[in-house]
Each structure stands twice: as C-alpha cells, then as structure tokens.
Amino acid sequence: MENLQVVVYNSGIMTLKPVSKVSLSALCKDLREAFKYTQSEMATRLGVTLKPYQKWEYGISDPSGEFAAKLFLLREELQEKHSIIVPLKFIK
C-alpha cells in the first residue's frame, strides 16, 4: 500500500500523502457512521463479509489496496452526492 497516494486539501492547497499514513480504521468507522450503516451493511457495501470489516474498523488489520481504494471512493461519494465531508485522520 505504500505506493497509493491520497489527495488532501488544506486551505485550498492540494498535497499528496501516502495512504499508509491515513488511519484506515478511523476512516472505516467515520464513513459507516456518516452513511448511518451497521457494520454488516458497510461490509456488504464494500463487498466483504463482516469479520474482515470488523478487523479493519478495530485496527486489527488494514484493508488491501482494492478495499482501501473503495473506502476513498465512498468518501468522495459522500462529498459529491451528499455534501458530507469526512475528514481524514493521520497516523503520527
């Protein structure tokens, strides 16, 4: 996942940050809550079973590149279609 980059806007300035620095567990939970999904519904939306999704949300493991990309696409969908901004949280 080190090659994946995410665009971050801060005061109108676009920068690229490595996805490995984004807290994917926080992103999972924040997106799920924004969509008002249960964990099971979020897992279905991402195309996985409940168990792996729970491991991602609890920070036990990280999603593969394919599923990490799906998370960022869902984040974009929230912004574009619903005007809901889910801020990214970064690992220090």
13: left (phi over 0), alpha (psi -120 to 50) or beta: beta
The pLDDT of residue 52 is above 50: yes
Over residues 60-85, mean pLDDT: 92
The pLDDT of residue 7 is above 90: no
Phi/psi of residue 87, nearest 5 degrees? -70, 150
Domain-wise residue ranges, the chain:
23-82
33: left (phi over 0), alpha (psi -120 to 50) or beta: alpha
- Tokens at residue 73, please? 């696409």
- State if pTM tops 0.75: yes
Q: Of 3.40.50.2300, 1.10.260.40, 1.10.150.20, 3.90.1150.10, which CATH number belongs to 23-82? A: 1.10.260.40
pLDDT tens-digit readout, 14-43: 566 665 678 999 999 999 999 999 999 999
